[in-house]
């Protein structure tokens, strides 16, 4: 399988690109549950608005698929409370045995979940203020909305044991059996009681 991608800034100029070859085992009854292919590519880019375009071609069948998405890289040097994008998937992975310092979300590209699934999500908090004891005071307010109405609501205090002082992770898992099939919005608001600030991120998903 051939895979290629390009990153463009808000003026349409290419700031980065990549091209690679991937191999995958044929789908069988034994591996049908884990037949997806995960590819990661990292590029340092300056704060700004970007569009990421990716295309893949199956060399055997000739079939081509593509996807694109706008992303925003915030300017953390301004010192304002800032959140990463919401990352959602089927589960939160503990990478204790790997080189990763923080757990990662097994991402869902389609944002589609069965009612029997757990919707794991992860977000990172930047520029959180600390009090005189060098402690944070952050609260996460999580809501699931359908047609603008709140159907699930949760409030949780973030812990203060993050090894990375500049990037504080927060994540949880939502049980979906109580949600009927349809489209929803996951909204996470982080409230900083020390810095008297808040920030919100949201993402859409579908329950099947």
Q: What is the pLDDT of residues 37-56, one digit of tens each?
A: 777 888 889 999 999 999 99
What pLDDT score does 46 carry?
93
What pLDDT score does 57 carry?
92
pLDDT digits (tens, 9 = 90+) for 80-130: 999 998 988 855 555 544 454 555 556 777 788 999 988 989 999 999 999
What pLDDT score does 42 carry?
86
Q: Which of 182, 152, 153, 158 is nearest to 170 (CA)?
A: 158
Which segments of 46-122 does DSSP mark as H helices, in order? none
Domain with CATH 2.60.40.3880 in the chain: 77-208
pTM above 0.85, yes or no: no
Q: Is 33 helix (H, G, I), strand (E, B) or coil?
A: helix
State which CATH number among 3.40.50.970, 3.40.50.2300, 3.20.20.70, 2.60.40.3880 fits the domain covering 77-208: 2.60.40.3880
Across 194-201, average pLDDT = 96
Chain mean pLDDT for the chain: 86
Pairing of strands 197-207, 112-113: parallel
């Amino acid at each position: 399988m051939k895979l290629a991608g390009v990153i463009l800034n808000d003026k349409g100029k290419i700031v980065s690109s990549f091209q690679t070859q991937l191999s995958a085992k044929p789908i069988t009854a034994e591996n049908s549950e884990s037949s997806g292919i995960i590819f990661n590519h990292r590029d340092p880019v300056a704060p700004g608005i970007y569009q990421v375009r990716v295309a893949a071609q199956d060399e055997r069948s000739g079939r081509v698929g593509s996807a694109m998405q706008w992303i925003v890289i915030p300017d953390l040097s301004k010192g304002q409370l800032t959140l990463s994008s919401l990352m959602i998937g089927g589960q939160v992975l503990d990478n204790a045995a790997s080189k990763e310092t923080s757990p990662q979300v097994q991402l869902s590209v389609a944002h589609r979940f069965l009612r029997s699934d757990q919707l794991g999500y992860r977000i990172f908090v930047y520029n959180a203020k600390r009090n005189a004891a060098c402690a944070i005071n952050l609260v996460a307010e999580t809501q699931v909305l359908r047609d603008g109405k709140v159907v699930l609501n949760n409030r949780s205090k973030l812990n203060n044991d993050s090894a990375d002082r500049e990037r504080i992770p927060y994540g949880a898992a939502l049980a979906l059996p109580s949600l009927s099939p349809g489209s929803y919005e996951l909204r996470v608001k982080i409230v900083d009681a020390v810095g008297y600030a808040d920030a919100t991120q949201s993402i859409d998903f579908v329950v099947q």
